[in-house]
Every structure is written in structure tokens, then in C-alpha cells.
Amino acid sequence: MNEDSRATSRSKPDFEATKAYLEAHSGIQGLKVLPPEAVDEAVTQFHRDGFVVIGQALDAEQLEILKLGVEQAVAEIVALDPKGKGNRGPGRYSFGGSSLSRSQLHRPAWQMLLSVEPMQRMLDAMFGCQDYRLRAASGDFCMPMTMDYQRLHSDVRDWVDAETTPFSAFYDPSGRLSLRDLPCPYICVNFLPQDIHALNGPTRQIPGSQKSRAPIPRLEQEPEWMRLSTVTPVPAGSMMIRDVRAWHGGTPNLSNEVRAIPNLEFYAPWFREPIVPGISIDDFKKLPPRAQQLAELCVPASGETFITGPTLKAP
């Protein structure tokens, strides 16, 4: 959304009413922000609901690094889009979808996230081993005064042809099994560089939808309780760990600030889809040993040149 249309949105008579309504009703009732040491409870909640929120995941220094890194990435991306059209709907941008490498792993702020210890502990317990691997470092952001909802969706799908997407993999020739019948194949960890509240575009998550084979409702079909099923309030420095099969979507950002949820995305040891290299060999070698292990599939093949940079349409 550009400056003119933002001004128009702000002056709409229903703006104040929408704000008051969301303030009063948006937010999952009884949402828990668990402490980083509550690993067992987090694992139980993750497998039940398809997501869980962990507070105090980042220390003060990590939070500062992430804020600055996000600020820089956002500035570079929106500079390409003066009309604010976004690449996930008006005012909405995917960090991966705005990078030639489909990832932000070339940026030190995203590399730092690989070494967040509470995340490593949680993922070890959720995957039941340490052999999960990074697929990409991405996430999304939405600009101030983004009025629209993003439709509910999953971030992974069963195999479809390469023209539809080159990134699907799971295929059962008998047609009996879907990814939704399996244990969680792929976990996304979103880190929150700012507080999340009812008015700055909290993610809506539909609890327990990760195994559902029901069609995901389009915006016009979506019941109101789903539109209000938002992960809020959550303090800055927290992380939201998601089974990417669970239905989720963006909500309006009626605040004056950018809402960003940078992430790391990990495949279970038994699951792979095509991976685009996200970091140069030289930068990879500077990572700590555990971070190198996690990111080992994101390195270019020998002789392959690593290319990245901002774009509005990732290849």
C-alpha cells in the first residue's frame, strides 16, 4: 500500500470501528506463552494444536541483531515496490519470495538464529532427534495500514506438477496417503522482533488443522471465529513454532509499524523437497559447528556460483 492509499484507508469511517472490534475480540482464548524450559508441555501442545509459542527465546543482544537485520531487509525490499503492491497481497511480503536465493540466509541476522539454544532444544524434542535440516531462512512482513486478510493456507502440499510449483515432493502412487497422514514433515520457527498485538497483523492459526483433509476455506467462506483465532498477545523475543501443515494466514496491520516474523524452516530427517542454496561457502564456513550441521543442505554444490539479492519475484 503506498502513502496515498494508506491515507485513504486511515480515513475510512469504519477504520476506528474495525480497530475497536479487533481489540475486543481478536486473540485465541487462553493462549499460553510457554517459558523456554517447558519442553515437554511445548511438545504436547505442538502435536495437539499444530503450533506453540515460546517466550524469551532470544536474549537482548540477539533481539537487537534481529531487529536491525529485519529493518535492513525490509528497506531493501520495499524500495523495489514504490506502489506497495507486495508479493503476498497488497502490503504483504515474503522474505524468501523477495530474494533471488528464496532465502535470507546470506544475512547475518538470519544466520544468528541457527544458534538460538531454546529453538534447538525444542526442535530436538519435537523431531525426536538432531538430524533435522534447514530448508530456508525466510518469514514475512506486512506494512502499516495493511487492511486485508491473507487467505488461510498451508506452507506445504502433496506433489503437484513442476509448472504449478517446483517445490512439492510427497507422492503416494496408490492415492491413499497424504502428507497430512504423516508425522510433522516440516517445522517453521518464526521469531518475533516486535511485540505482537491485536492490531499489528497477528498470524491467525487454526488449532488442530494440521491433519485435516477438509478443504481450506477461502476468505469469503471463512467463519468469524477463524478470523479472530490470532496468536496474540506475544512479547518481542518470543518464537512461534509451527507445523506448516496447520492452516494459518495474515490479518490486518492497523498499526503504524511494520510487523515482521522472520523464520527458519526445517525438514524432518525423513522428508525433503528441492532446496535452493541460501549461503555462500565462505559465509557457511564462518558458522558455528551446530549451525553448519543444520544448514548443510543450503550450501551451493562445488563449482556452483551463489547468487542472491532483493527481488519482488523470486525465481
Which positions lie near Fe ion, rule CB under 5 A? Answer: 155
- Report, in Å, the least distance between residue 99 CB and Fe ion: 16
- Report, in Å, the least distance between residue 157 CB and Fe ion: 12
In sequence order, which residues have a C-beta less than 8 Å from that of residue 13 and are 6 or more positions away?
none
Locus of grid cell 527481488:
311
Nearer to Fe ion, 197 or 248 (CB): 248
With beta carbons less than 8 A apart as the criterion, state whether 139 and 262 touch: yes
- Report, in Å, the least distance between residue 201 CB and Fe ion: 13
- Report, in Å, the least distance between residue 155 CB and Fe ion: 4
Q: What is the DSSP letter of 230?
A: B
Per DSSP, the chain holds a count of helices (H) and strands (E) of 9, 9
Nearer to Fe ion, 160 or 281 (CB): 160
- Report, in Å, the least distance between residue 150 CB and Fe ion: 8
Q: Distance between CA atoms of 187 and 50, rounded to whole angstroms?
A: 10
- Report, in Å, the least distance between residue 143 CB and Fe ion: 17
Nearer to Fe ion, 186 or 271 (CB): 186
Nearer to Fe ion, 45 or 138 (CB): 138
- Report, in Å, the least distance between residue 153 CB and Fe ion: 6
Nearer to Fe ion, 124 or 155 (CB): 155
Nearer to Fe ion, 6 or 102 (CB): 102
Tell me which amino acid residue 247 is.
W
In sequence order, which residues have a C-beta less than 8 Å from that of residue 194 and are 6 or more positions away?
67, 200, 236, 257, 259, 260
Nearer to Fe ion, 232 or 280 (CB): 232
- Report, in Å, the least distance between residue 188 CB and Fe ion: 8
Q: What is the DSSP letter of 89?
A: S
Q: Where are the alpha helices (DSSP H) in the chain?
A: 3-11, 14-25, 39-49, 60-78, 108-113, 117-127, 224-227, 281-285, 289-294
Residue 292 phi, psi dihedral angles, 5° rounding: -60, -45
- Is 249 in a helix, a strand, or coil? strand
Nearer to Fe ion, 36 or 96 (CB): 96
Locus of grid cell 499444530:
50
With beta carbons less than 8 A apart as the criterion, state whether 112 and 163 touch: no
Locus of grid cell 509499524:
257
Beta bridge partners of 262: 139
Question: Which residue has its beta carbon closest to Fe ion?
Answer: 155
User: At how many degrees (to 10) do helices 117-127 and 39-49 cross?
Assistant: 60
